Amino acid sequence: MHKEPTQRGLKVAEEVRRMLVDIFRESPLWEQGLAEVSLTLTEVRISADLRNAHVFVLPLESTLSGDLLLKKLEKAVPRLRKELAKKSHLRVVPALTFHLDNAFDNFNQIDSLLNDPKIKRDIKKSDT
């Protein structure tokens, strides 16, 4: 059963997202091959016990495939958690799991469907 996040969970998730953005901006992760990668951290979802964070990323103009990017981010997790520990006031730094955010892909797919001439024709028929 999926529970709605608590207000505290939402605040912590947003705080973790902001701190990760700062970490990526301030200290490039050269050793993981992520220095030249431009990405957006779109969302962080945190577990009820605040021990696990799922970080959703959107690569921008990256030459890396999504899978390779996720592998490099997973290698960077120990360093990222260390940096989070320095910046945060949390008792426990959450474990980080990275995921590709495909919400924009879904949006583009829906947009292209809605602009399809056949679909437009069907929508017009149903409106009349």
Average pLDDT over residues 72-77: 92
Give the CATH architecture of domain 7-102: 2-Layer Sandwich (3.30)
Residue 104 reports pLDDT greater than 70: no
- CB of 99 closer than 8 Å to CB of 54: yes
Sort strands 52-60 and 38-46 into parallel, antiparallel or unpaired.
antiparallel
Residue 30 per-residue DSSP state: G
pTM of the full predicted structure?
0.75
Residue 49 reports pLDDT greater than 60: yes
Residue 84 reports pLDDT greater than 90: yes
Residue 88 per-residue DSSP state: -
Which residue has 């999926």 as its token pair? 2
Which residue has 């608590």 as its token pair? 6
User: Rounded to whole angstroms, how far apart are CA atoms 23 and 81?
Assistant: 10
Average pLDDT over residues 118-122: 71
Give the chain's count of helices (H) and strands (E): 4, 3
pLDDT of residue 102: 79
Average pLDDT of the chain? 83
Exposed, middle or buried by CB within 10 Å (0-12, 13-18, 19+), for 15? Answer: middle
Average pLDDT over residues 30-34: 67
Could you tell me how far CA 34 lies from the centroid of its own chain? 15
Beta-carbon count within 10 A of 57 CB: 22
Domains in the chain: boundaries = 7-102
Give the three-class secondary structure for 51: coil
